[in-house]
Amino acid sequence: MTNFLSLADVNDLDALIQSGRDAKANPFADQHLGKNKTIGLLFFNSSLRTRLSTQKAAQNLGMQTMVMNVGQDSWGLEMEEGVLMNGDKAEHVREAAAVIGRYCDIIGIRAFAGLQDRVSDYQEQVMHQFAKYAGVPIVNLESATRHPLQSLADCITIEEAKLTARPKVVLTWLPHFKPLPQAVGNSFAEWMNARANAGKVDFVITNPEGYDLAPEFVGNARIIHNREEAFAGADFIYGKNWSSYEQYGKVLTMDPSWAVTMDDMQRTNNGKFMHCLPVRRNLKVSDAVLDSPQSLVIEQAANREWSAQAVLKEILKGM
């Protein structure tokens, strides 16, 4: 593996999931791989889990870590080519990426969607500009359209918790008053479709009308707009809010009946609740669900360390 920008960079998903589980069982087995290597983690947006779990994973592998909040700790970065830089961005990505690539052996980047321009967001400009100019592997720490380290942690969590060979996994939209990116929902759908194509899960998406994800992410998943029908018999309920893809970046409804409650969970096959966190309690999901034994959210977040470790290990092995 060179870059880890999306599922397309994964050769063997089963092996990568197993590698994460192996790291969890034996975190320090591969410390030699990262000796004298440095990872730089660049955040254009806030983070708790990604920031800490990726640092921890790198340290488990013997790496040194450097973390920077872009635009706060550093200069603002211009991504467009050939522009007159007379605005608020003092440095171009061409120099910034090249320089950071001299200090770091791997660069992780978090850069969310702006939600103003769908074409621009879905071009993944920040990831591609860094991949073009850094000269070292790039790891996606959540981009405009994807959050693959989260999706790998989600796959690990489902593998650990599943009670049947081919569980029913339901991605459900949750209400929120702010427009949020589609990245987590897109990415989860992309990875679950891969698992479904391999016969590992039965994957369903439920969301209100107007909230269908981009067709390339929906893939072969069944979209069921009736959430009660979708929840029936589910083994895993994966909650997430996203703004509309069709009316790009818009909040079309805040219908509170889409928040997950224990009544909803009772329609499932004693299903588990998952969410990538952070989550707004009682807006998106009830206290009762989050505090119940059916909630996997803490274990899911804990597995972010092992998903990051599996990916970094794969990159380090190729150096």
Annotated binding residues for N(2)-succinyl-L-ornithine, written as ranges, equal: 142, 176, 240, 280
Q: Which of 160, 142, 162, 161 is nearest to 150 (CA)?
A: 142
HEC profile of 65-78 = EEEEECCCCCCCEE
Q: What are the helix and strand counts (H, E) for the chain?
A: 12, 11
Q: Does 150 bind ligand CP (CB under 6 A)?
A: yes
Among 21, 22, 33, 47, binds ligand CP (CB under 6 A): 47
Which residue lies nearer to ligand CP by CB, 47 or 64?
47
Q: Does 268 bind ligand CP (CB under 6 A)?
A: no
Among 276, 290, 296, 310, binds ligand CP (CB under 6 A): 276
Among 9, 30, 121, 142, binds ligand CP (CB under 6 A): 142
Tokens of 201: 């899960």
Phi, psi (degrees; rounded to nearest 5) at 204: -130, 145
**Closest distance of CB 180 from ligand CP, Å:** 11
Size of the site for ligand CP (CB under 6 A): 9
Please give the helix or strand (H or E) that residue 103 lies within, else none.
helix 93-103
Among 3, 50, 187, 286, binds ligand CP (CB under 6 A): 50
Which residue lies nearer to ligand CP by CB, 69 or 253?
69
Helix (H, G, I), strand (E, B) or coil at 23: helix
Q: Does 145 bind ligand CP (CB under 6 A)?
A: no
**Closest distance of CB 228 from ligand CP, Å:** 28
Q: Within 13 Å and on the Cβ side, how many CA atoms surround 136? A: 22
Phi, psi (degrees; rounded to nearest 5) at 197: -65, -25
Which residue lies nearer to ligand CP by CB, 60 or 303?
303
Q: Report CA torsion sign: 1, 110, 57, 196.
A: negative
Q: Does 277 bind ligand CP (CB under 6 A)?
A: yes
Q: How big is the chain, counted in residues? A: 319
Q: Does 90 bind ligand CP (CB under 6 A)?
A: no
**Closest distance of CB 231 from ligand CP, Å:** 23
Using CB under 6 A, list all residues that contact ligand CP: 47-50, 142, 150, 276-278
